[in-house]
Chain A
Amino acid sequence: MFYINEGNKANNNSVISFRQVIFIYKKDYKKYAEQTAQKSNAFTNCIKAFLVGGAICTFAQWLYNMFITRMSEENTRLLVPTVLIFLAALTTGLGWFDKLAKHAGGGTLVPITGFANAIASAAIDNKNEGWVLGLGAKIFTVAGPVILYGTLASVIYGLILYFIRLAGAGGAA
């Protein structure tokens, strides 16, 4: 149970003032509400995510094994994600993806399928607001942060790698 103090009105900012009705501390209420809230079943979610995510990756590996016998490794590495992206976008449009993702969670989110779904779903959602201000402007509303910070992170890691190599080369000389 959270703490109710009828007398202490010293710090009014932190108290929900029910004006002579009840006084509770906001942070206590928030903590109590969070602690007693129904929780997701992390164990079941992890198992489902592992199975679905694993199945997607196994399928991708099967694609790789199939393509590699017919084309160069470079092309295979391009074609495997392309197939996954296409399938994720297609199933998003057909309204199947979210039904699977509801159970799979991280299993569909972490592979490239999650990224494709984020873009395709935003595109479908915003097409009614027009090609430019709707679809064009809002297609990256969900995926945008991943693109921005992904690019930024790769630049930072690139710089770090550059200086490490520079230092390594300098040390060798």
Chain B
Amino acid sequence: MSKNDRIFKFENKPAIFSCGTVAGKKEWEGALGGVFDCHSEDDTFGMPTWEQSESEMQRLALNHALAKLSWDSTELGLMFAGDLINQCTSSGYGLIDFDVPFLGLFGACSTLAEGLILAAFIVNAGYVNAAAAVTSSHNCSAERQFRFPIEYGGQRTPTSQWTVTGAGAFIVGRRSLLDVDEKLISAKSAPPNQPSPLFTHIRIAEAMPGRTIECGITDANNMGAAMAPAAADTLLRYFKVSGTKPDDYDLIVTGDLAFEGHRLTSELLAQKGIHLGSNFNDCGLIIYDRERQDMHAGGSGCGCSALVVAAEILPKIDRGELKNVLFIGTGALMSPMSVQQGLPIPAIGHLVRLIHD
């Protein structure tokens, strides 16, 4: 085991208290449909430009997450946020009103995992009682920046992924707060026949940040293939160091390799004798009804894993349907310029272990 093959264990029990989700029209109509906190019928969220729409989504997401705890933003000691747009302007503008110390991130689609890891670090260390991890992506702003004008009539290849219009905000706090903080105690005691708005049983147990891996893939329309080795690398290191095997987990979910990357990750790991079974899934495959919505390989973008983790996986962990989950946020760290210059796409996979506790 080399020094950098280290699993960070969080002894002081950082927990995920709540999350806020904001989705676009396609995501609302997708396979998860209707479980998000709010959505926009025209994806504009009432804003004049797509970039501003994305900022608005981040603002709404964090608002929803805080509202579920009956908190205002002064309870947050720090927030981590990132998105796909140049210089992370969606986060910069979107979270401006919260007056919380802000650290911006870029990890492409892995931003959520990166934010959760950092929030868990900072809460575990005791510097703050609670921190937020916020991320977003918007199909139209991403198309404009990375591909073609939105109304341009082109055909997408079957391996291409559809950038999700979605934002998610996650509040990570010290577990003991749930029994101490008055606002949380009153928020917890929801009326008997209503589901509790906040999570009380989700703990971030471990994290293993990924290494940048570049494997020669230059095709920006096949990001899954570029990210698969990064996901495989992190998983292999994790299994090796922890001494566990895939069957030990209720769910191993990557976000978001989509169809191609999901298949390649399984194949890469199979060659090392690690066989991922039916408990291996991917956020890019979960979010849409791929056939009906003609989504090609599946979803991508920071918002994809944010929506799936917040709306599908966390509630299940909270209810105890899933007890031990590995979430690997994968990101393709290219820019339009690096792709045009023909450089291969570097990728990363950050692992977070979430447990029911």
A residues adjacent to B (C-beta < 8 A): 1, 4, 16, 18-22, 24, 26-27, 29-30, 33-34, 36-40, 45, 92-93, 95, 97-98, 100-102, 104-105, 108-109, 114, 117-118, 120-122, 124-126, 128, 141-142
Residues of A within 8 A of B97 (CB): none
Are the CB atoms of A97 and B260 closer together than 8 Å? Answer: no
In Å, the complex CA distance between A135 and B179 comes to 56
Cα distance, A34 to B159, chains bound together (Å): 10
| Chain B residues, CB < 8 A from A97 | 151, 153
**Contact residues in A for B228 (Cβ distance below 8 Å):** 33
Whether A4 contacts B151 by the Cβ 8 Å rule is no
With A16-B215, A20-B2, A26-B215 in contact, is A117–B152 under 8 Å at CB? yes
Query: Does B151 lie within 8 Å of A92, measured CB to CB?
Result: yes
Min Cβ gap A63→B in Å is: 21
The CA-CA distance from A161 to B229 in the complex, in Å, is 54
> Taking the complex as formed, is B259 at the interface, i.e. its CB lies under 8 A from any CB of chain A?
yes
A21-B240 contact, Cβ under 8 Å, with A4-B271, A16-B213, A30-B215: yes
B88 within 8 A of A: no
Q: Which residues of A contact B38 (CB under 8 A)?
A: none
Give A101 to B152 CA distance when docked, in angstroms.
9
Q: Do A1 and B271 form a contact, CB below 8 Å, given A95-B151, A125-B150?
A: yes
In the complex formed, the residue of B with least CB distance to A118 is: B152
B149 within 8 A of A: yes
A21-B237, A37-B222, A128-B48 are contacts. A121–B149 as well, Cβ < 8 Å?
yes
Contact call A109/B2, Cβ cutoff below 8 A:
no
Q: Which chain B residue shows the least CB distance to A16?
A: B215
In whole angstroms, what is the CA distance A69 to B231 when docked? 66
Select which of A24, A33, A39, A108 is within 8 A of B217 by beta carbon: A33
B231-258 residues with Cβ-Cβ distance < 8 A to A are 232-233, 236-237, 240
Q: Give me 22 A-to-B residue pairs in the complex whose CB atoms sit less than 8 angstroms apart, sorted by A's number.
A: A1-B271, A16-B215, A21-B237, A22-B268, A22-B271, A22-B272, A26-B344, A29-B217, A33-B228, A33-B260, A34-B222, A36-B264, A37-B158, A38-B260, A92-B151, A92-B153, A98-B151, A101-B155, A102-B155, A117-B152, A117-B153, A125-B150
Contact between chains at A40 and B155 (CB < 8 Å): yes
The count of A-to-B residue pairs whose CB atoms sit within 8 angstroms is 120
Q: Which residues of A contact B153 (CB under 8 A)?
A: 92, 97-98, 100-102, 104, 108-109, 114, 117, 121
Contact between chains at B149 and A122 (CB < 8 Å) = yes
Contacts of B229 in A (CB 8 A): 16, 18, 24, 29
B236, A124: Cβ atoms under 8 Å?
Answer: no
Distance (Å) between the CB of B242 and the closest chain A CB? Answer: 14
Which of A122, A128, A142 makes the CB contact (< 8 A) with B49? Answer: A128
